[in-house]
A and B are shown apart, each in its own frame.
Chain A
Amino acid sequence: MAEAVTVEEVAEGIYKMVKDAAGVKKLKPTDLTKAMVEHFGPERCSKDLCKEAIRTLMDSGRCVYTYFGGSFIELPPKEDTAA
């Protein structure tokens, strides 16, 4: 059986996607979850793991939720990142 990826690995994957999409496309949590499950494979990465990874990113302040008609995950504003 394939070894499951860690929360940290998924969080890094999500962070990279959000960073690469900054200023180009707003990503919803479901977009990121689907992408991670596809990237790592469903046998290694579950939706619950992605949820935990998103929570890690939010609690650490590396990503923030934004609202523009719907909720998205984005990088925090620059002044917050510097802090």
Chain B
Amino acid sequence: MGDEKKIPKTPKLDELDKGPWPSFVREIKRAAEKSPMSRGLLGVLERSYNEKVGHWKHGGIVGVRGYGGGVIGRYSDLPEEFPDIAHFHTIRVNQPAGWFYTSAALRTICDLWERHGSGLTNLHGSTGDIILLGTRTEELEPIFSELTQMGFDLGGSGSDIRTPSCCVGPARCEWACYDTLGLTYDLTMHYQDEIHRPAFPYKFKFKAAGCPNDCVASIARADLSIIGTWKGPIQVDAAAVTAYTKDGTDIQADVCDRCPSKCMAWDGKALTIANEWCVRCMHCINVLPTALRPGPERGATILVGAKAPIIQGAMLSSVLVPFMKMEPPYTALKELVGKMLELWAEEGKSRERIGEFIQRVGLGNFLEAIGLEPLPEMVAHPRENPYVFYEEYLEEEPTEAKA
């Protein structure tokens, strides 16, 4: 039994434990002092570095009863050599909106994970959930039971609505144009069934960003990006602008010249903004935070279709609704999402994200099916006109006209 606690020799991995910086190898070794699974992980990882081959398989039949999401099955393809990590499933735990925890809550989760898993976590994955790395199939139900007693639930995985996530929003940021935390909590509650029970062609992600800075990168990662924005002119405090110049800020070079739509002018005394040309990039507000503020009427732009490159290449979201008020109970947003999900569930191909679906059927057809009017803001980039219909040119001319 003494050999079981022996940490395997890992000369290649040890190279990544040198220096003063944080090292994943050091953390796995620390966990390996107590956890056989982490010892197994070190062994298989060293082997992968030697062979330049990964030794994991994923998927299969793992989960907790009634749920189709929240557990990602992970198996070693060397179960005889590394029996402690024959199963190494990942648990996704639904994070609180904005990732606010008490230290006690994190300790409780970590204690649970030392009892039932490898003791390793990479804390938050790109979906936003808490990610607990490495456990066995027979531990899943006990983990789920303890998590729910602690007030946590599993997050989404597979072909379901993934756990909605958001930036810290009004809780810690002055630029939030709507309550990202409130919306994320509301969406999480509203779509409980769809988060836990996969019912779609593929995954569907919501990400809520409070302002166009988009700190959660929703425009690159979410099937539905909800990005805070405003209507009306940027609010300017002229005295504060002057104070910036006295502190050495070069308004012309640092603000006006870097404005992507060149909507700002500086005559050495006053900053003027042609608000009709503003593209809400936030650059000027970020540079002059005490002098400029978003306009008074606030809401969000709804964008659709981002994804990372799994089946086709990476895609960015494009505008679906230029401005929508974001206030509880978020009826307009939920109605829009309901129509989109129903259409995509009905007509989408297996493993086709909604952005790919829109590309396949055409934005014009998609808009018609969900009952939205085409708008200039939907043009994703110059020389693209996604909503023009050519039916009138296809109609046959009357016989008289031909004659």
Contacts and interface: CB of A to CB of B under 8 A. Distances in A.
A59 B351 contact: no
A67 B59 contact: yes
A65 B70 CA distance: 11
Interface in B34-91: 59-61, 63, 65-69, 72-73
Contact of B351 (A29, A58, A61, A70): A70
Range for the number of chain A residues in contact with chain B? 20 to 34
B61 A30 contact: no
A58 B66 contact: yes
B197 A30 contact: no
B160 interface: yes
B351 A67 contact: no
B66 A71 contact: no
B225 interface: no
- Main DSSP-derived SS at the B contact region: loop
Range class of the B interface residue count: 20 to 34
B144 to A, nearest CB: 14
Contacts, number: 67
Interface stretch (B18-26, B199-207, B235-243, B390-398): B199-207
A71 B351 contact: no
B65 A70 contact: no
A76 B318 CA distance: 41
Interface in A3-32: 28-30
B346 A71 contact: no
A30 to B, nearest CB: 6
A77 B65 contact: no
The 6 closest A-B pairs by CB, nearest first: A65-B68, A71-B198, A71-B158, A71-B159, A67-B59, A29-B199
Interface of B: 59-61, 63, 65-69, 72-73, 157-160, 193, 197-202, 345-346, 350-351
Interface of A: 28-30, 33-34, 51, 54-55, 58-59, 61, 64-71, 74, 76-77
